[in-house]
A and B are shown apart, each in its own frame.
Chain A
Amino acid sequence: MNLQDTAYILRYLFIILICSSAIQLIRLAIKEFKWGLNHALRPARGYFLIAYQESREKSDIRDRMTKAMDKDSYLINLNTDQMDKINRANEHELRLRSDISQYELSRGEHKTRTRMQTLALYPTTIIGRSRNCDIQIKSKKILKRHCTVYRYDGDWCIRPQSSFAKVKINGVEIDGETELRNKDQIDIAGIRFDFIDERSSAKQAGMDYSAAKIDDRYFKEAVKLSSKRPRLSFLFFNSFALITIALLTYFIPEDFGKHRMIVGLVLISTIVISDLYYIALNKILYYGDRILLLSVSYLSTIGLLIQCRFSFFRNPWFIGQKELGDSEALKDAVRIMVTRFYVQAGAVILGLVLILFLSIIVKKTRFLESLTIVCFIVTPLFLIATKVLGRGMEENGADLWINIGPISLQLTEFAKISYAIVLASFFKNRPRLKMQIFFALWAAMVFFLIMLLPDLGSAMILLPTTVIVFVIMTSEYFKGLLIVLASSLASVLAYALFPHVQARIAGWTSLWVEINPRNAQIIYGLQAVARGGLLGRGLTNGNPWGIPLFNSDMVFSILCEEFGLLVGLAIVVFYTIIWLRTGRGAALARDGFSATLILALGTMLFVEATVVIGGTTGLLPLTGATLPFIARGGSSILAKWIMIAMLLGLLGRQEAGANRL
């Protein structure tokens, strides 16, 4: 049988392998996401507040987990006991209810004696009158959201939520972010709290904190229990990859014969590296997110294989060169096609190697936190550099590529990462209004630069990401709505000002009415999807030629044509899995920065995929963004793998052991 017939039969197998994996992985991801949300309210180990309250009635304080204690007894053993209780609660109930940590502190009418209460702290702990606060204080002197105690870069800080919120530290009123130290006395509208850092207390008492019997094995076991290895999906992934590689290398045209071995080895090596990483993930990061890695591996492998197919199989440009009969021209054509594939494969391999080191660095150090200022400056600089030095307008409608020697870079891809880091730094906890305004001004500048490029795709990705992160981390729904309204207004303005936006919208709205140069790309893409049907036409049997940017912007259409719509749907599922893993990670993260960055990166990937797939299939206006991990482009692939490396490192932080918690 020839390639055409073999690929046509194999499509059934590919659908079974890919779709089964997608179903298994999404089931696990949903299950673990729910588990993550139910177990997200874990107090920070070794840090807490002690509340002092004068009350005549003991029952004024509803406290189910801690007991009143002597003023001097808040040392290690007592709190280890508390943690033990929490861990046991995990063991028995596999859940930690928010009511463990929510206390109502009612001011008694007659204050006859002092009572103390241990209050758990979370990576972000909001204190206020609102029922939704982590520590609720029912007092008219307390604002709805009075202040936030949060952890950043290993340190604990407190910050009043507004200028009306009265907070004193050791008797001195504060109006901004203030670092907390062991035994600092916090006065919140007349109620006194002590901040306790067990490590410092242990040190002062001459005790070794690490030697204390902190037993968190219950929780770790629960994490492991809930993190079943997706063995079947792993097996299916490898089967799919190996069969496809065998198919492509066996049938590679004779013109590329001498590259057959190298191409095969390159493809195999990407699979081997990702497999090794998958197997060793938990050894490297302790808590490694295999579901995330496997989903990304699937996407990346599908992407690399389809790019390999574009390079070597039935490329009409190459066939045209061949028909010219000029042996030198043919050699050049072979070189171009081979180089194109090696660039793509090289980016994947480099990305795979990078995640090994970068994820460890992210997990073990505060490297990302230290990059905040750099990213704050570099993000607009990337965009300005792209505007000044960029090229590609003729080919792709936007000047997004800059040449550095022989290398062509798309700095906007890296700008997205730096933007996410800045976003996480600002919204690692609930920032005050003036900080929000400061960020808004900076973000407005970034978006303006993006529109100047013009890079509609980046705008459509970063804007929803920003809104989602903002709403989740601040709970300011009204402001979120205002941002959405402002964005809509900006979109109308962009439509009026920028011809390329008008062209995109015109192409989209006329999609089912007529075919014209503005919508031909989408229509041809949709025709490809229609040709593929549910089951596809088999790898290499599609007809991508004639669809502008078929290997980058429109690659999803070709995937649907060759692998079938079912695989197309499975690809959507893989992107959803990525977000589910990051959502879970954000809930379980032990500090605000990690949570926010995880959320930002995951949302960014999901939104990008949604925007591209929606644009390719006419559900949304086409933006020019490319499908993460699949579309052609070294910079894009590398940037996406860096994001995954960061995600794996950040997710690994959550169970980093006693030293980190």
Chain B
Amino acid sequence: MKEIIKNLRVVLIIFVVLSCSLLIGLFIQEQRSQEELMAVAGENKIALAERYGQSAGAIVTKDNYIIAESVDGKRVYPDKPYSDPYIHLVGDYTHNITNTIECVYENTLLGSQRNIIEQFLLDLSGKGIHGNDITLTLHNGISQVVAEQMRFTGYKGAAVLINWKTGELLAAVSYPAPAYYNLINYEDLEDSSLYNRVLSGSYAPGSTFKMFTAAAWLDSDVFDSDYTVDCHGVSLVPNGPGNINGLSHGVLDLNRAFSESCNVFFGSVGNMMGENYFLNYLNNLAFSEPITLDRLNVRRQKADISVEDAGTLAWFSIGQPIANSELNITPLTHCTYVSAVANGGVRMKPHIISSISNPIGRIVEDIKIEEEREVFSYETAQDLRTIMENAAVYNGLSFDSYTFGLKTGTAEVDGQSGNTSLINTYLYDDEHPYALTMILENSPGSHYLIPFAQNIYREAIYQSP
């Protein structure tokens, strides 16, 4: 009997240790699950649907258009085509696209990570289980116009409209866009329609890159305001780029070369600066540094020259990487640089979240308008403005008395029959401080975009938030 008692004591200790381990293990697993498993793409879709339908807050635009809301236990989204401007950014509860508001702001929308006091107070109000509402900086009227213009072109691509004074995103459309029904059920999806080109698209910048080449030259020791090139359509450096169809521009200075988008001039300027200086300048601009759109990720841009060769550098300087050089831009990031030009060289931190309010209407998080960094000096920005505004006039982007800045670009892409057309513009107006980047894949050319940009600006001014 003594032995049995002794054994019982030993087993008791084992069981107590086991129970404590179980309790601690449960706690650890719960914490670990919150950190690791809730974010995985393989989340339980049925539970997600129910949970969102049950308690997720609404997502609305700044002009109160409801993009997502929970009604009678179901998550409701707009029908096509009204969903087109939002589907890539807002996403849906299935998280089939992960870099979206619905996915990244899941805890906010479901109200699952509030502090205890706030949660308790909300519980007392009877609204504790409901999630927070999110108001976006997007403007529905403008977004629908941008989406309509993108649809009208019929080409895959992206368009971003930013308020260059505040960094607020007013429209960000990726085309093509699936219908919500198809996204949720993951069926009948057009090729690459789930791809958010605004945040993740990677494009050779073409001549829009000349804005950076010009800025670098303006800030360099080798800058000469009287420098001119006599353009015969053929590159001045070996293996460098000539103009399309060998077009001869004659004698050009920076201003005219920018408006004409002369490859010969900018190829020559690039070589004048040298590879090291140019790449250092781009680094100082944070060209390749990643940016974020609140909690959304934005693809990193790249700029690198593979070989020290005058021709390669010349191609690089006009925004067309060759050999193993890397040069690509992301529509949103590209737009922030043209915004900086309009904003005196200061790039504002881009935002898509305007405010987050809890179920009783109290704003728990508000947009913070803040400068991200000065990417161009004020003087350089002013010089860039001058040449870009001249380019706008030269290329016919104008209406009423508004002042626009513009740089167009066309990039050749391997394996693509057409070119990638790009346009990087801003509207210099205190009441309508908009910057627009538009990119179309496999399209006729950059000038094709100008009328669409003009339409977008016109409607944006008309529907001014």
Q: Are A and B a genuine interacting pair, yes or no?
A: yes
Chain A, interface residues (CB within 8 Å), range? 35 or more
Check A37 against B47 for contact (C-beta < 8 Å): no
Which residues does chain A contribute within 8 Å of B30, judged by CB atoms?
526, 529-530, 532-534, 560, 565, 617
Min distance, Cβ B125 to any Cβ of chain A, angstroms? 9
Check A515 against B25 for contact (C-beta < 8 Å): no
Check A526 against B129 for contact (C-beta < 8 Å): no
Given A37-B8, A472-B8, A541-B54, decide whether A5 and B33 contact each other with a Cβ distance below 8 A.
no
Q: How far does the alpha carbon of A8 sit from the alpha carbon of B15 in the complex, in Å? A: 34
Which residues does chain A contribute within 8 Å of B55, judged by CB atoms?
4, 541
Check B38 against A527 for contact (C-beta < 8 Å): yes
Min distance, Cβ A217 to any Cβ of chain B, angstroms? 23
Interface string of B23-65 (1 = CB under 8 A from A): 1011101101110111011111111101100110000000000
User: Restricting to A408-461, which residues have a CB under 8 Å from any CB of B?
Assistant: none
Which residues does chain A contribute within 8 Å of B187, judged by CB atoms?
none
Min distance, Cβ A152 to any Cβ of chain B, angstroms? 14
Check B23 against A569 for contact (C-beta < 8 Å): yes
Q: Does B396 belong to the interface (CB within 8 Å)?
A: no
Q: How far does the alpha carbon of A532 sit from the alpha carbon of B47 in the complex, in Å? A: 13
Check B8 against A543 for contact (C-beta < 8 Å): no
Check A530 against B38 for contact (C-beta < 8 Å): yes
A-B contact count (CB 8 A): 173
Interface string of A569-591 (1 = CB under 8 A from B): 10011001001100100110000
Given A529-B33, A531-B51, decide whether A316 and B46 contact each other with a Cβ distance below 8 A.
yes
Q: How far does the alpha carbon of A531 sit from the alpha carbon of B112 in the complex, in Å? A: 7
Min distance, Cβ B403 to any Cβ of chain A, angstroms? 53
User: Restricting to A559-609, which residues have a CB under 8 Å from any CB of B?
Assistant: 560, 565, 568-569, 572-573, 576, 579-580, 583, 586-587, 595, 606
Q: Does B118 belong to the interface (CB within 8 Å)?
A: no
Q: Does B117 belong to the interface (CB within 8 Å)?
A: no
User: Which residue in chain B gives the minimum CB-CB distance to A511?
Assistant: B37
Given A515-B42, A560-B30, decide whether A587 and B4 contact each other with a Cβ distance below 8 A.
yes
Which residues does chain B contribute within 8 Å of A569, judged by CB atoms?
23, 26-27
Q: How far does the alpha carbon of A526 sit from the alpha carbon of B47 in the complex, in Å? A: 12
User: Which residue in chain A gives the minimum CB-CB distance to B22?
Assistant: A572
Q: Does B12 belong to the interface (CB within 8 Å)?
A: yes
Determine chain B's interface SS by DSSP, over half rule. Answer: helix
Check B11 against A545 for contact (C-beta < 8 Å): no
Q: Does A132 belong to the interface (CB within 8 Å)?
A: yes
Min distance, Cβ A159 to any Cβ of chain B, angstroms? 15
Min distance, Cβ A560 to any Cβ of chain B, angstroms? 7
Q: How far does the alpha carbon of A294 sit from the alpha carbon of B18 in the complex, in Å? A: 23
Q: How far does the alpha carbon of A495 sit from the alpha carbon of B55 in the complex, in Å? A: 44
Q: Does A512 belong to the interface (CB within 8 Å)?
A: yes
Given A37-B8, A576-B15, A614-B22, decide whether A544 and B47 contact each other with a Cβ distance below 8 A.
yes
Check A41 against B50 for contact (C-beta < 8 Å): no
Min distance, Cβ A476 to any Cβ of chain B, angstroms? 10
Q: Does A633 belong to the interface (CB within 8 Å)?
A: no
Check B47 against A545 for contact (C-beta < 8 Å): yes
Check A587 against B5 for contact (C-beta < 8 Å): yes
Q: Does B7 belong to the interface (CB within 8 Å)?
A: yes
Min distance, Cβ B43 to any Cβ of chain A, angstroms? 6
Check A530 against B11 for contact (C-beta < 8 Å): no
Q: How far does the alpha carbon of A547 sit from the alpha carbon of B47 in the complex, in Å? A: 8
Given A544-B47, A613-B22, A617-B25, decide whether A530 and B54 contact each other with a Cβ distance below 8 A.
no
Check A538 against B27 for contact (C-beta < 8 Å): no
Q: How far does the alpha carbon of A134 sit from the alpha carbon of B43 in the complex, in Å? A: 60
Given A37-B8, A543-B47, decide whether A617 and B29 contact each other with a Cβ distance below 8 A.
yes
Among B9, B15, B25, max chain A CB count under 10 A is at: B15
Q: Does A126 belong to the interface (CB within 8 Å)?
A: yes
Min distance, Cβ A246 to any Cβ of chain B, angstroms? 18
Check B22 against A619 for contact (C-beta < 8 Å): yes
Which residues does chain B contribute within 8 Å of A468, judged by CB atoms?
11
Check B25 against A5 for contact (C-beta < 8 Å): no
Which residues does chain A contribute within 8 Å of B364, judged by CB atoms?
none
Check A541 against B129 for contact (C-beta < 8 Å): yes
Check B5 against A523 for contact (C-beta < 8 Å): no
User: Restricting to B71-96, which residues have a CB under 8 Å from any CB of A?
Assistant: 73
Min distance, Cβ B290 to any Cβ of chain A, angstroms? 26
Which residues does chain A contribute within 8 Å of B12, judged by CB atoms?
33, 580, 583
Min distance, Cβ A463 to any Cβ of chain B, angstroms? 15
Q: How far does the alpha carbon of A587 sit from the alpha carbon of B32 in the complex, in Å? A: 40
Q: How far does the alpha carbon of A534 sit from the alpha carbon of B30 in the complex, in Å? A: 9
Q: How far does the alpha carbon of A534 sit from the alpha carbon of B15 in the complex, in Å? A: 24
Given A8-B129, A41-B5, decide whether A524 and B18 contact each other with a Cβ distance below 8 A.
no
Which residues does chain A contribute within 8 Å of B48, judged by CB atoms?
543
Check B128 against A546 for contact (C-beta < 8 Å): no
Q: How far does the alpha carbon of A123 sit from the alpha carbon of B2 in the complex, in Å? A: 11
State the interface size on chain B (CB cutoff 8 A): 50
User: Which residue in chain A gives the minimum CB-CB distance to B73?
Assistant: A314
Q: Does B250 belong to the interface (CB within 8 Å)?
A: no
Q: Does B126 belong to the interface (CB within 8 Å)?
A: yes
User: Which residue in chain B gives the minimum CB-CB distance to A10?
Assistant: B123
Min distance, Cβ A535 to any Cβ of chain B, angstroms? 8
Check A576 against B19 for contact (C-beta < 8 Å): yes
Q: How far does the alpha carbon of A1 sit from the alpha carbon of B1 in the complex, in Å? A: 60
Q: Does A305 belong to the interface (CB within 8 Å)?
A: no
Which residues does chain A contribute within 8 Å of B4, judged by CB atoms?
40, 124, 472-473, 475, 586-587, 595
Q: How far does the alpha carbon of A481 sit from the alpha carbon of B5 in the complex, in Å? A: 19
Min distance, Cβ A604 to any Cβ of chain B, angstroms? 13
Min distance, Cβ B33 to any Cβ of chain A, angstroms? 4
Q: How far does the alpha carbon of A8 sit from the alpha carbon of B131 in the complex, in Å? A: 13
Q: Does A610 belong to the interface (CB within 8 Å)?
A: yes
Check B5 against A4 for contact (C-beta < 8 Å): no
User: Restricting to B337-363, which residues have a CB under 8 Å from any CB of A?
Assistant: none
Q: Does B127 belong to the interface (CB within 8 Å)?
A: yes
Q: Does B308 belong to the interface (CB within 8 Å)?
A: no
Q: How far does the alpha carbon of A577 sit from the alpha carbon of B9 in the complex, in Å? A: 15
Which residues does chain B contribute within 8 Å of A621, judged by CB atoms?
none
Q: How far does the alpha carbon of A40 sit from the alpha carbon of B16 in the complex, in Å? A: 20
Interface string of B301-338 (1 = CB under 8 A from A): 00000000000000000000000000000000000000
Interface string of B160-198 (1 = CB under 8 A from A): 000000000000000000000000000000000000000
Q: Does A301 belong to the interface (CB within 8 Å)?
A: no
Check B47 against A528 for contact (C-beta < 8 Å): yes
Given A1-B126, A471-B7, A595-B4, decide whether A527 and B26 contact each other with a Cβ distance below 8 A.
no
Q: Does B430 belong to the interface (CB within 8 Å)?
A: no
Which residues does chain B contribute within 8 Å of A576, judged by CB atoms?
15-16, 19
Among A4, A33, A595, max chain B CB count under 10 A is at: A4
Which residues does chain A contribute within 8 Å of B1, judged by CB atoms?
40-41, 122-126, 134
Min distance, Cβ A603 to any Cβ of chain B, angstroms? 8
Given A41-B1, A472-B4, A565-B26, decide whether A512 and B36 contact each other with a Cβ distance below 8 A.
yes
Q: How far does the alpha carbon of A538 sit from the alpha carbon of B127 in the complex, in Å? A: 13
Q: Does B3 belong to the interface (CB within 8 Å)?
A: yes
Given A33-B12, A473-B4, A545-B46, decide whether A530 and B33 contact each other with a Cβ distance below 8 A.
yes
Q: Please name 13 further chain A to chain B contacts, defined as beta carbons within 8 Å, in addition to the given A8-B129, A514-B42, A533-B112, sorted by A numbering.
A: A12-B123, A40-B1, A41-B1, A98-B2, A132-B3, A515-B40, A520-B42, A524-B47, A527-B38, A528-B44, A541-B129, A576-B15, A580-B12
Interfacial residues, chain B to chain A (CB-CB below 8 A): 1-9, 11-12, 15-16, 18-19, 22-23, 25-27, 29-30, 32-34, 36-38, 40-48, 50-51, 54-55, 73, 112, 119, 123-124, 126-129
Q: What are 11 A-B pairs at a CB distance below 8 A?
A: A4-B55, A8-B128, A98-B2, A472-B8, A523-B42, A541-B129, A543-B50, A569-B26, A586-B8, A617-B26, A618-B29
Closest 8 pairs (CB-CB, A-B): A546-B46, A515-B42, A530-B33, A543-B47, A122-B1, A526-B33, A472-B7, A8-B129
Interfacial residues, chain A to chain B (CB-CB below 8 A): 1, 4-5, 8-9, 12, 33, 37, 40-41, 98, 102, 122-126, 132-134, 314, 316, 468, 471-473, 475, 512, 514-515, 520, 523-524, 526-535, 537-538, 541, 543-547, 560, 565, 568-569, 572-573, 576, 579-580, 583, 586-587, 595, 606, 610, 613-614, 617-619
